[in-house]
Amino acid sequence: MEIRAYQAKDEISWVRCRVLSFLDTAYFDNVLQEKEKYENPAIELVAIEDDQIVGILDVEYEVVERTVCSRGEGLGGMVWHVAVHPDYRQKGIGSQLLYEVEKIAKAKGLNRLEAWTRDDGWVNRWYEKNGFTNVESYLHVYLEGGDELKGVLKSEIPGLYPVHAFAHYVGEDKELIRKRFKRVHECICFEKKHK
């Protein structure tokens, strides 16, 4: 396996790897048609095996404190995408990508990585196994029409009727939200500080 910097020619394979990797996660419907471009500098790595991208890891990083990350002091990097093709999991590819990212991040003077993910147990265990700490969370709430939208959302434009919605819940009564709506995910912030 080869780990190297992402190149523009990798885009289709990068997108395919991300889509396939997300299908069995809480982000199953977070489909991208093209690779994200970042406002700030980024570390963008891919893992290649069998002439295809089998792993990706993108970290956008700060040159000015608190312009990318939501917490911490000093310069940090935000993990936007980490994914391993399902046919290549359990081979340490994600951890190898993270190791390479951390070497580059330290050389650039970053003192921490921040990552937000949902409540997939196996994903959260991967972050914990790789030295990240769960530092905060809130809820992602999907409102799926009908009764779920009643009394929650309405349009002020005549003839426009909301059918689906996505919301962040940062309040205290998470149990109320979980009981009221069918699709609710905890969105968890993991942080790894570099020494």
DSSP character string of 78-123: EEEEEEE-GGGTTSSHHHHHHHHHHHHHHHTT--EEEEEE-S-HHH
**Low-confidence spans in the chain with pLDDT less than 50:** none
The pLDDT tens digits of the residues spanning 78-133 come to 999 999 999 999 999 999 999 999 999 999 999 999 999 999 999 999 999 999 99
- What is the structure's pLDDT at 146? 81
Rounded-to-integer distance, Cα 143 and Cα 167, Å = 8
Q: Domains of the chain: which residue ranges?
A: 2-136+189-193, 139-183
Structure tokens at 95: 């951890």
Amino acid at 40: N
**Contact 112/76 with Cβ under 8 angstroms?**
yes
- What is the structure's pLDDT at 68? 96
- What is the structure's pLDDT at 54? 98
**Contact 141/164 with Cβ under 8 angstroms?**
no
- What is the structure's pLDDT at 147? 87
CATH (residue range 2-136+189-193): 3.40.630.30
- What is the structure's pLDDT at 154? 85
- What is the structure's pLDDT at 183? 97
